Chains A and B, each alone.
Chain A
């Protein structure tokens, strides 16, 4: 093997290496990078603000309670984990020991209510409501609980006050 042939061979090897790098290694690195970014983002994903979500259902507090009372199972299927907008009289505004708000919607004459745990990022709107007024609240339905003494409750989580008119 003379020198020039050796140099040729060397060159073809480096060309091959380049091609391998360009068509195999680079795409693999890119794909792995994309997957890593996806998992990182997915892992650190925060909750969506309910005020940015469209309501799947809009109901009055009384109708929602009636629906759950007449058939808990089918209502759970319909509403559970869904964004719902509930209209009703603000019976009560509860602030717990740690500063978290719950707005209680429904007929003031009964123990039953739609209880809306307020997303703490929206505490200000919750704090400014007037008791006894008709308001609209949007939140995610987390279920229903009924007790013969305490009445029936539908619970909404991550709720936001939608309108106070």
Chain B
């Protein structure tokens, strides 16, 4: 009897363990806004990005708290928060969009897929359409996702003072890495 129950539970979890949604709360977001002529790196990294993806229809959402970006130099981090992204006024960066052709991805089998992503990125009180590609690697039941894109600072009304214009690039390169787990929702 016990065995039957265990088998039943195992079978049930096998079915439900791959839910309709996958998520992470420890996505790594990296950005680099170093201009080619700058002697020092202007880069920040955030390791607590939140991402949720609906594996049925491709809807996705990504949120990163601006204050969560860590810089090597304390002064640079203060300038980033206070002068550039004004994170006290606009604490979040948010992306809402769709992954195209997500139905082609088999999350239960090992494989690598590249999908188009289209959506709207909001930060610093401004919103802008964004189109990029995301790579999914499924391996031993683990899902790793990564993407990279460029952000034009002027699109988000982030102004660059003349003093640092030669160091700070007008576009920031952004990279995201995360491993996703399936969301167990209560029926």
Contacts and interface: CB of A to CB of B under 8 A. Distances in A.
Question: Size range of the interface on A?
Answer: 20 to 34
Question: Size range of the interface on B?
Answer: 20 to 34
B65 A145 contact: yes
A131 B137 CA distance: 30
Identify whether the interface residues of B are mostly helix, strand, loop, or mixed.
Answer: strand
Contacts of B66: 142-143
A144 B183 CA distance: 20
A97 interface: yes
Given A100-B47, A117-B48, A143-B91, A81 B67 contact: yes
Nearest to B91: A143
A117 B70 CA distance: 11
Nearest to B70: A157
Interface in A77-111: 80-81, 94, 96-98, 100, 102
Interface of A: 42-48, 76, 80-81, 94, 96-98, 100, 102, 115, 117, 140-145, 147, 149-150, 153, 155, 157-158
Given A143-B91, A147-B52, 12 more contacts: A44-B73, A80-B88, A97-B177, A100-B47, A102-B48, A117-B48, A142-B66, A142-B67, A143-B65, A149-B23, A157-B68, A157-B70
Interface of B: 21, 23, 25-26, 28, 47-48, 50, 52, 61, 63, 65-68, 70, 72-75, 77, 81, 88, 91-92, 177, 179, 183, 185
